[in-house]
Structure 1
Amino acid sequence: MILSRRYGQLGNRLVLYSHLIAAARHYRVEFRNPSFAEYADLFPSTRDDVWCRYDAHLRPSPNHRPSRRQPSQRCRNALMHTMQAVAKSMNAIGMRHYPAKVIRLGAGEICDLEGDRFRSAIESGRTLLLQGWLFRSPRLLEQHWPHIRPFFSVSKTDRDAIDQRIRQARRESDVLVGVHIRRGDYADFLGGQYYYDDELYSRWMHSVCDQLPGRRVRFLVCSNEQLDEKAFAGLKISRGPGTALRDMYALAETDWMMGPPSTFTGWAALIGNRPRLELESREYRVVVPQPDTSQPFVEQVAA
């Protein structure tokens, strides 16, 4: 299987990547993801492989030759664009069955990774080129998650930076709540439906404190823009480590997190197995999650 087109930013890429790894494990095939090019250097598992492949369940694999040196970004981008062009051309001229099969999803179209369409394509034995965002199987993802999760471990440098920030944030606090303030592209996404100002985030955060009287509450705030700390007066705030990857994985270390609907917090909740509240509208009322020592597998990223 080859994912031959990129979709969204880091959170989207990780969600799609993980579902397709689950399918690769289920059907006992190799998966290659050249569309992960921009983020490959962030993870030790993909850093040295231009194809960003997953074949751990098939090793020793005669097709997997470890790179002697880290591929350049130029090389990664060239492969990504080449595979996208190949799949697009095959689809356009009707070459959907030879020498490879193409599954191209339309906007909003879902492909069940356990369904007849996908299974028959895999069983054809030919290379399968995938183009689409909603390749999904929550059941397979949950089943194979213990094997998938280590594949997305971060480097020691990133882990040390994350751990240091979390230790600092937990000092003199009983509860650490992650807050994802996403603006930027959300100004235009769905007409700005999830674009919230500082005053609203502050109100939600004060509501959390009101629900936890006597508890020392601190907020780990991660955002893609500079914040006006005056808007959060009266709240104990720590900033995230500062990069998208570190912020995401730092949120995974909080007690629970909240933010607008986004795969950014969706992935953080999944990788950390933490509760997540989606701030779905300006009228959303935050209710602090109850402690649960038997937290079930988080499925927020299934959609």
Structure 2
Amino acid sequence: MMIIARRYGQLGNRLFLYAHLIAAARHYGVELRNPCFAEYAALFPSTRDDLWCRYATHLSGRSNDTGSGRAPSQTVRLGLMHGIQAMAKTMNAVGMRDYPAKVIRLRSGQECDLEGDQFRSAVESGRTLLLQGWLFRSPRLLQNHWSHIRDFFAVSADDQNAIGSTMQQARRASDVVVGVHIRRGDYAEFQGGRYYFDDRLYANWMRSVCDQLPGRTVQFLVCSHERLNPQHFAGLNITPGPGTALRDMYALAETDWMMGPPSTFTAWAAFVGRKPRVELQSCEQTVVVPNPFAEPAAA
């Protein structure tokens, strides 16, 4: 089996690492466990009751119904996560990288090709793999197994109902729904505030979208973790996101296309919803409406 043995980042980062390794688990026919999904396990029906956050639905006679029907406490989840992380780190430090399990630990910025010879050899050795690193990647496998990944990370009925209600409101009397992710908070410091944009910039980008879609009613689904001043967005049709990180992310996945600063938050929404995404890279950027939405409206 493969075990993700170190946590990286917040929800979007965790989902992408998990998803790439789900794709690899399906490709090689092995089980995957992710105790390092501890903080987010309760968000998804597929992981809510399973301490190990297993993925084994692709294995003969196996299912992901491995829980007891009662969700483990967060204390127990975090204890397992920290224990697995410490064990893998210690094994790597003392040179025990191949016994009793094989540790694959990536340096910062180092990427591991999940279809490469080295990783394939490690899987085929039959040993349990303890994986520590962010860039375990295979874009091809990720796309090949998209439908299974999407199904595994389906949200609960309550969350979907809230998302559906928000999207129904957004689509009422509108021709195009554009998702807007306004992320600030930690972005004030990240890379020197490079992607920290004020309301004026977001509003200007949104108005430029409307200018490119004459004759169409554009509704903006705006998702942010902070309260926004509506005066800064005067004249724009805005529907607020459902209000939690998960619901906002999955509501963005149901828009026609979305824009926001570089973030795995919108990247995951675009991936799971298979929708276009425009990254806002700088204050000077011009937003161009992606095709086919930029085509003239029918007469």
* Distance in structure 1 (CA, Å) of the matches to 2:213 and 2:250: 25
**Residue equivalent to 1:100:** 101
Shift of 1:66: 3.3
Instruction: Give the fraction of aligned pairs with identical amino acids, expressed as a percent.
Output: 72
Question: Which deviates the most, 283-292 or 120-129?
Answer: 283-292
**Residue equivalent to 1:286:** 287
Shift of 1:47: 0.5
* Distance in structure 1 (CA, Å) of the matches to 2:66 and 2:57: 13
* Distance in structure 2 (CA, Å) of the matches to 1:280 and 1:273: 21
Please say if residues 49 and 68 of structure 2, whose CA atoms lie closer than 8 Å, have aligned partners that are also in contact: yes
**Residue equivalent to 1:274:** 275
Cα deviations by residue, 1:212-256 (Å, 9 ceiling, x for unpaired):
111111100001111111111111111000000000000011110
Shift of 1:62: 9.8
Q: What secondary structure sits across from 1:179 in the alignment? A: strand
Please say if residues 91 and 97 of structure 2, whose CA atoms lie closer than 8 Å, have aligned partners that are also in contact: yes
In structure 2, do the counterparts of structure 1 residues 90 and 259 end up closer, same or farther at CA, with 3 Å as the change threshold? same
**Residue equivalent to 1:211:** 212
**Residue equivalent to 2:297:** none
* Distance in structure 2 (CA, Å) of the matches to 1:51 and 1:23: 18
TM norm structure 1: 0.94
Shift of 1:284: 1.0
| Structure 2 residues without counterparts, runs of 5 or longer | 294-299
* Distance in structure 2 (CA, Å) of the matches to 1:271 and 1:63: 20
Quick one: which amino acid aligns to residue 104 of structure 1?
A: R
Shift of 1:194: 0.5
Cα deviations by residue, 1:152-190 (Å, 9 ceiling, x for unpaired):
000000000000000011112111100000000111111
| Structure 1 residues without counterparts, runs of 5 or longer | 293-303
**Residue equivalent to 1:87:** 88
* Distance in structure 2 (CA, Å) of the matches to 1:275 and 1:177: 10
Q: What secondary structure sits across from 1:130 in the alignment? A: strand
Shift of 1:142: 1.1
**Residue equivalent to 1:9:** 10
Quick one: which amino acid aligns to residue 165 of structure 1?
A: T
**Residue equivalent to 1:188:** 189
Q: What secondary structure sits across from 2:136 in the alignment? A: strand
Cα deviations by residue, 1:35-54 (Å, 9 ceiling, x for unpaired):
00000000000001000010
Shift of 1:59: 3.9
* Distance in structure 2 (CA, Å) of the matches to 1:60 and 1:67: 18
Shift of 1:67: 1.7
Please say if residues 177 and 221 of structure 2, whose CA atoms lie closer than 8 Å, have aligned partners that are also in contact: yes
**Residue equivalent to 1:136:** 137
TM norm structure 2: 0.95
Alignment of 1:1-303 (within 5 A): 1-61=2-62, 65-291=66-292
Q: What secondary structure sits across from 1:83 in the alignment? A: helix
Q: What secondary structure sits across from 1:269 in the alignment? A: helix
Cα deviations by residue, 1:2-30 (Å, 9 ceiling, x for unpaired):
00111010001111110000000111100
Quick one: which amino acid aligns to residue 39 of structure 2?
A: E
* Distance in structure 1 (CA, Å) of the matches to 2:241 and 2:87: 40
Report the number of matched residues: 292
In structure 2, do the counterparts of structure 1 residues 221 and 63 end up closer, same or farther at CA, with 3 Å as the change threshold? closer
Quick one: which amino acid aligns to residue 274 of structure 2?
A: N
Q: Which runs of 4+ in 1 moved over 3 A?
A: 61-66
In structure 2, do the counterparts of structure 1 residues 263 and 193 end up closer, same or farther at CA, with 3 Å as the change threshold? same
Shift of 1:64: 7.5
Cα deviations by residue, 1:237-294 (Å, 9 ceiling, x for unpaired):
11000000000000011110000011100000011111100011111111111128xx
